[in-house]
Amino acid sequence: MDSNVVLIIKGLKAMGAGSACIGLAGSGIGIGLVFASLIKAYALNPKLKDELFNYALLGFALSEAVGLFALVMSVVILFA
């Protein structure tokens, strides 16, 4: 292939990988919202502390999984 074409493909891969990382920002926002809601719920009903914490951990895990999927897709785009 022509060297210009190779450079264009590498540049487009980098742009695609960067675009795929946008999901990481959403994951960070989601985690912040989960724990903000946890603090608010603790303030409103301290008796449900253990149950609320379990729900918060579940929300954290799901938000983090979305972020990890975005990161994996970015790496796949970049190195495939």
At 26-56, the pLDDT tens digits run 899 999 999 999 999 999 999 999 999 999 9
pLDDT grade, residue 23 (50/70/90)? Answer: confident
Say whether pLDDT at 20 is over 90.
no
CB within 8 A of 20, min separation 6: which ones?
Answer: 70, 73, 74, 77
Topology classification of domain 3-79: F1FO ATP Synthase (1.20.20)
CA-only gyration radius of the chain, Å: 19
Say whether pLDDT at 1 is over 80.
no
Nearest to 70 by CA among 20, 30, 32: 20
Please provide the average confidence, as pLDDT, over all residues in the chain. Answer: 92
Nearest to 58 by CA among 80, 38, 29: 38
Per-residue model confidence as pLDDT tens digits over 52-77: 999 999 999 999 999 999 999 999 99
What residues does each domain of the chain span? 3-79
